[in-house]
Amino acid sequence: MGLAVCVGCGETKEGAFDVCDGCGLDPARGGTDRMLQARSLWLSERFFSERELVELGRKLSTGEPVAYDTGQLSRLVDELKTQKLPVISQASPGCSIVTWSLLGMLLALAAGLAYLYGTWKH
């Protein structure tokens, strides 16, 4: 997950669709508000460097106007329309931990079976 900026208050956060710690804005829960999601996605490391994001966040927090790239935003809206859910998918850490522990259990099981098979043969 890359750095992103909350479109509501300019607070920096971990991912474009994360709930904001500052104002509680949750772009993913915006539902059909694709423009909100597009803006959230636009204000992320996908389009800006960390330094630029911090600067944009500062502008948002002080109420300065931020020049949204409308062309880019409409492309993002189109992109979001083709997806059922906003890109939260990029395997959350919790998800991969479950995968790895399952894999570990399977390996242990396989090792156990191999051991049993070995003792059975002798």
Task: Work out how close the CB of 61 gets to Zn ion at its nearest, in angstroms, rounded to a whole number.
Answer: 9
55 lies in the binding site for Zn ion (CB under 5 A): no
Number of residues that bind Zn ion (CB under 5 A): 8
Could you give the CA distance from residue 80 to residue 74 in angstroms, rounded to a whole number? 10
Task: Work out how close the CB of 105 gets to Zn ion at its nearest, in angstroms, rounded to a whole number.
Answer: 40
- 5: which strand partners? 12
Q: Which stretch binds Zn ion (CB under 5 A): 11-19, 38-46, 86-94, 113-121?
A: 11-19
22 lies in the binding site for Zn ion (CB under 5 A): yes
Among positions 3, 4, 8, 57, the unique one binding Zn ion when judged by CB under 5 A: 8
57 lies in the binding site for Zn ion (CB under 5 A): no
9 lies in the binding site for Zn ion (CB under 5 A): yes
Task: Work out how close the CB of 11 gets to Zn ion at its nearest, in angstroms, rounded to a whole number.
Answer: 5
* Secondary structure of the chain as H, E, C letters: CCCEECCCCCCEECCCCCCCCCCCCCHHHHCCCHHHHHHHHHCECCCCCHHHHHHHHHHHHHCCCCCCCHHHHHHHHHHHHCCCCCCCCCCCHHHHHHHHHHHHHHHHHHHHHHHHHHHHHC
What residues make contact with Zn ion under the rule CB under 5 A? 6, 8-9, 11, 20, 22-23, 25
